[in-house]
């Protein structure tokens, strides 16, 4: 992003830009709280959107970016950056068709002569959207090209992010060993970049891959290290992610009381940022805790709530693990035919989405 030319009265906006570059989004919002000249309203909204997005408050950020996007007085750069940010937000929330539409808008606004940095940003978003659609081989091909470019340029932070994304694509396509290798490489690049947040996300990826591979002790260690790193940041989404991951590892180890407490912390954090899909994963986890503690009716309610949220968002993996969990609950109560119907539905959905969630007994 390029800062607009500063005009009289823009000191508050300059402070906000500086705070965002330092990774202090709350300070940026504080700088924007006072009176801002009307001529700078679009830039103020854009900076506020960037701050909310950095903390994981996607709904608040989306509303502000949408306010900037149609405004001719915002300038072409801010509008293009807003379109690209909206593509990222929609992709993160599972709205991939809308993400593609915003990505096309961003390309049109940036134009053919856009800076190399912006071209790479759009190429990366294209790969991330393919990953979100379950097009893992295609996304991995794009990621590998970008990784070679970033590594050659010694852009260690970008290389760390790409490897993190590659690890996720490999994990969801069933290559757990490859996923763990990518996440470890991401961690190494993040350390070379001295980027604590990137380190934390690499550890979160390692925690997920280790858990599905049946190594809950390693998973707990990775998630706990990530949680410590993120505790000193303003990344609410990342903090919630770490709490939920740690709860999953503890549940898998059989420590249901501690797992339940961690899930409840994650629930509060995800609820604060309005993240419905990840809240559904927490409901699924709380359902698993209830089931293993001998409360199948409480588990059923949690799984049904999770399934409804996942289906509303088009989150295939979440829907599959909720269906298989519900099948287990129904089978335990003697409703075997209904349970088998749910499992067959889960299998069909896994095959359609080209994922392996129905096999993830250790998810």
Mean pLDDT, rounded, of the chain:
93
DSSP character at residue 293: T
Q: How far apart are the first and last CA of the chain?
A: 39
* Of 111-115, 153-157, 311-315, 316-320, minimum mean pLDDT range: 111-115
pLDDT value at 7 more than 70: no
Higher pLDDT, 301 or 10: 301
Q: What is the mean pLDDT of residues 224-239?
A: 95
Q: What is the pLDDT of residue 114?
A: 77
Q: How far is residue 129's CA from residue 258's CA, in Å, rounded to a whole number?
A: 35
In the structure, what pLDDT confidence band is assigned to residue 8 with cuts at 50, 70 and 90?
very low
Looking at residue 150, its pLDDT comes to 96
**Residue 241 pLDDT exceeds 90:** yes
Burial readout 98-110 (b: 16 or more C-beta within 10 A, e: otherwise): ebbebbebbbebb
pLDDT over 80 at 147, yes or no: yes
Mean pLDDT on 126-153: 95
Query: What pLDDT digit, counting tens, does each position of 293-348 carry?
Result: 999 999 999 999 999 999 998 889 999 999 999 999 999 999 999 999 999 999 99
Q: How far is CA 258 from CA 41, 172, 252, 255, 288, in A?
A: 47, 27, 11, 6, 13
pLDDT band at 362 (very low <50, low <70, confident <90, very high): low
Return the percentage of the chain with pLDDT > 70, whole number. Answer: 97
Residue 250, judged by CB atoms within 10 A of its CB (0-12, 13-18, 19+), counts as buried
Average pLDDT over residues 260-278: 94
Mean pLDDT calculated for residue range 52-70 = 96
Q: How confident is the model at residue 3 (pLDDT cuts 50, 70, 90)?
A: low
Q: Is residue 166 within 8 Å of 143, Cβ to Cβ?
A: yes
* pTM summary value: 0.88
Please indicate whether residue 75 or residue 2 has the higher confidence score (pLDDT). 75
For 37-59, what is the mean pLDDT? 93
pLDDT at 93: 86
Counting residues of the chain whose pLDDT is more than 90, the rounded percentage is 82
- With 90 as the cut, is the pLDDT of residue 353 above it? no
């Amino acid at each position: 992003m390029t800062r607009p030319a500063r005009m009289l009265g823009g000191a508050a906006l300059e402070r906000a830009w500086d705070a965002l570059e330092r990774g202090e989004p709350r300070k940026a919002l504080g700088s924007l709280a006072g009176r801002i000249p009307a001529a700078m309203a679009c830039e103020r909204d854009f900076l506020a959107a960037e701050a909310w997005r950095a903390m994981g408050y996607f709904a608040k950020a989306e509303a502000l970016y949408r306010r900037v996007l149609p405004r001719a007085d915002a300038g072409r750069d801010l509008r293009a950056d807003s379109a690209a940010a909206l593509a990222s937000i929609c992709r993160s929330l599972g709205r991939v068709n809308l993400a593609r539409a915003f990505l096309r808008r961003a390309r049109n606004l940036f134009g053919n002569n856009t800076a190399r940095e912006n071209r790479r940003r759009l190429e990366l978003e294209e790969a991330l959207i393919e990953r979100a659609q379950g097009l893992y081989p295609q996304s991995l091909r794009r990621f590998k090209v970008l990784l070679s470019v970033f590594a050659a340029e010694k852009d260690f932070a970008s290389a760390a992010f790409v490897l993190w994304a590659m690890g996720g694509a490999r994990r969801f396509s069933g290559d757990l060993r490859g996923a763990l290798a990518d996440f470890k490489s991401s961690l190494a690049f993040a350390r070379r970049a001295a980027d604590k947040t990137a380190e934390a996300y690499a550890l979160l990826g390692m925690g997920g891959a280790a858990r599905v591979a049946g190594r809950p002790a390693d998973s707990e260690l990775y998630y706990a290290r990530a949680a410590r790193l993120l505790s000193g940041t303003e990344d609410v989404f990342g903090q919630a992610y770490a709490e939920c991951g740690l709860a999953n590892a503890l549940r898998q180890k059989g420590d249901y009381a501690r797992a339940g407490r961690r899930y409840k912390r994650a629930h509060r954090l995800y609820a604060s940022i309005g993240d419905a899909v990840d809240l559904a994963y927490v409901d699924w986890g709380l359902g698993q805790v209830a089931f293993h503690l001998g409360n199948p009716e409480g588990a059923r309610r949690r799984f049904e709530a999770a399934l409804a949220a996942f289906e509303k968002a088009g989150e295939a993996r979440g829907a599959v693990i909720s269906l298989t969990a519900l099948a287990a609950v129904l089978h335990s109560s003697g409703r075997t035919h209904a349970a088998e119907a749910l499992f067959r539905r889960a299998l069909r959905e896994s095959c359609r989405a080209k994922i392996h969630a129905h096999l993830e007994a250790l998810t």
